[in-house]
């Protein structure tokens, strides 16, 4: 168990470099399974989920090594296995993203049925329906998913929900299929565009990523060129640090970001009274006024991102009035609220909405981080609270944030890590 001891009441100020995007790099690593030659992936964040995905790829037979602190070299030539190790799938749900590439590469995949997690039920029915539409046979038994296919054939697929993972997995399974595949109601996240670019560099013929209709023209083979790809910055890490400026009445500049990827948050921060100045590759957030209450509706991209909902909720606990946050992506993503209430917040959850009545102050307390983004939210609350917060579950935060306490302490926070 890893703990953070957070001293509250400090104002954060300064500049922070944002790392490569977790939710892009994990998929590019899975996509590298389809390469005919070596893949070099740059701007890779040193986060736990990347280390787990390295083990998944090695478990499948790929050679993976660090060329330097932030550069991975992946040689997928020996990939012949079709099942990622169970314990890794249990540890990281994103392991599901190897299904599409494996189906294309070895025509079968067996995966331990990934469970839900604290943010709610996380089925993969849309992934499996997509595979079946492409001609695969899916069997779910004894807690495993078996997918097998002789020849993948293009199909016209409509997703019930613009699922990021399903869009990615279907894209990967359609690349070498016979004929054309269309994915309708596709997810439009920036990470999907990254995968389209990555696969097209390998010789795939994909168009439309970033819109709700993606067209994949099946090709007979991918090119044997070495691919050298740089990961986009992490919009969720950027958003988390922007909110750190607001909740501590500070002044933080996040560098190496793509501002349009986080526009929904920028608009909401301005509505809450923050002074946000946007440059080409950096955003400065200054908070010199009380936090105004606002309403936030979480929606698939380009709507307000679900991965920043907990951090926004934590910030609005100190607003001068009542805010309403509605979570339309994950059903159970308010479980962390009780931890904020223990710090003095006034929040009531009704179905998919949280009503947050602003309070004058939060007080430090012993809290438990149930998952990655809720953990980040509790760190924000701890930095703004009076007194000391003892946060259990820092290991969840490490899944998606590179040395979060170092980056925050460089901005004036006082956070110590205690290994139990």
Closest distance between ligand EPZ and the C-beta of residue 275, in Å? Answer: 28
Cβ atoms 194, 166 nearer than 8 A: no
Cβ proximity to ligand EPZ: between 111 and 222 the closer is 111
**In the set 33, 183, 274, 329, which binds ligand EPZ (CB under 6 A)?**
329
Structure tokens at 396: 């969840």
Q: Give the residue closest to ligand EPZ by C-beta.
A: 165
Given the rule CB under 6 A, which of 20-28, 30-38, 284-292, 376-384 is the region that contacts ligand EPZ? 20-28
Residue among 165 and 293 whose Cβ is closer to ligand EPZ: 165
Closest CA to 20 of 40, 52, 42, 49: 42
For 142, residues 6+ apart whose C-beta sits below 8 A from its C-beta are none
Q: Pick from 82, 229, 330, 334: which binds ligand EPZ (CB under 6 A)? A: 330
Select the residue interacting with ligand EPZ from 306, 309, 311, 315 (CB under 6 A): 306
The tokens describing 223, both together, are 């090119």
Closest CA to 136 of 125, 116, 150, 154: 150
Q: For residue 400, state whether it binds ligand EPZ (rule: CB under 6 A).
A: yes
Annotated catalytic residue, options 71, 117, 226, 278: 117
Please state the closest distance from residue 301 (CB atom) to ligand EPZ, in A. 7
Q: Quote the least distance from Cβ 373 to ligand EPZ, whole Å.
A: 5
Active site residue 39: no
Site for ligand EPZ in 210-269 (CB under 6 A): none
405: exposed, middle or buried (C-beta count within 10 Å: 0-12, 13-18, 19+)? buried
CA atoms within 13 A on the CB side of 61: 13
Complete DSSP assignment for 348-408: EEETTEEEEE--S--B--EEE--SHHHHHHHHHHHHHSBSEEEEE-HHHHTTTSSSHHHHH
Report phi then psi at 30, rounded to 5: -65, -40
Can you point out the beta strands (E) in 50-99? 63-68, 71-75
75-134 positions binding ligand EPZ, by CB under 6 A: 94, 121-127
Residue ranges in 152-211 that form contacts with ligand EPZ under rule CB under 6 A: 161, 163-166, 187
Which residues are annotated as catalytic? 117
Give contact residues for ligand EPZ (rule: CB under 6 A): 22-23, 26, 94, 121-127, 161, 163-166, 187, 306-307, 329-330, 372-373, 400
């Amino acid at each position: 168990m890893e703990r953070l001891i957070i001293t509250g009441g400090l104002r954060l100020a300064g500049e922070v470099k944002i790392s490569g995007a977790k939710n892009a790099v994990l998929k590019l690593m899975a996509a590298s399974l389809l390469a005919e030659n070596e893949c070099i992936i740059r701007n890779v964040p040193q986060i736990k989920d990347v280390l787990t995905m390295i083990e998944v790829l090695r478990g499948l037979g790929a050679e993976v090594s660090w060329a330097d602190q932030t550069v991975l070299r992946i040689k997928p030539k020996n990939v012949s296995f079709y099942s990622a190790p169970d314990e890794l799938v249990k540890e990281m749900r994103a392991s599901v993203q190897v299904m599409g590439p494996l189906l294309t590469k070895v025509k079968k995949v067996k995966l331990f049925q990934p469970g839900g997690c604290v943010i709610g039920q996380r089925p993969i029915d849309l992934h499996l329906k997509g595979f079946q539409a492409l001609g695969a046979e899916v069997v779910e038994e004894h807690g495993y998913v078996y997918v097998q296919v002789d020849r993948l054939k293009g199909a016209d697929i409509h997703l019930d929900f613009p699922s990021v993972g399903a869009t990615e997995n279907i894209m990967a399974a359609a690349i070498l299929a016979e004929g054309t595949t269309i994915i309708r109601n596709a997810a439009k996240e920036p990470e999907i565009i990254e995968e389209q670019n990555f696969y097209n560099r390998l010789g795939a013929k994909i168009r439309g990523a970033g819109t709700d209709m993606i067209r994949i023209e099946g090709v007979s083979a991918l090119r044997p060129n070495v691919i050298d790809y740089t990961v986009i910055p992490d919009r969720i890490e950027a958003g988390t640090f922007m909110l750190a400026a607001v909740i501590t009445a500070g002044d933080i500049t996040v560098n190496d970001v793509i501002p349009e990827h986080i526009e929904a948050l920028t608009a909401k921060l301005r509505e809450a009274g923050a002074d946000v100045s946007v440059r080409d590759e950096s955003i400065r957030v200054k908070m010199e006024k009380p936090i105004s209450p606002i309403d936030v509706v979480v929606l698939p991209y380009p709507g307000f991102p679900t991965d920043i909902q907990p951090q926004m909720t934590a910030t609005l606990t100190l607003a001068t009035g009542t805010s309403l946050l509605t979570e339309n992506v994950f059903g159970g993503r308010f479980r962390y609220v009780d931890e904020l209430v223990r710090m003095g917040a006034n929040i009531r959850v009704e179905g998919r909405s949280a009503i947050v009545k602003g309070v004058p102050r939060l007080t430090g307390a012993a809290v438990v981080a149930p998952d990655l983004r809720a953990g980040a939210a509790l760190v924000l609350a701890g930095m703004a609270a009076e007194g000391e917060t003892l946060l259990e579950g820092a290991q969840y935060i490490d899944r998606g944030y590179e040395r979060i306490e170092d980056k925050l302490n460089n901005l004036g926070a006082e956070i110590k890590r205690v290994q139990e």
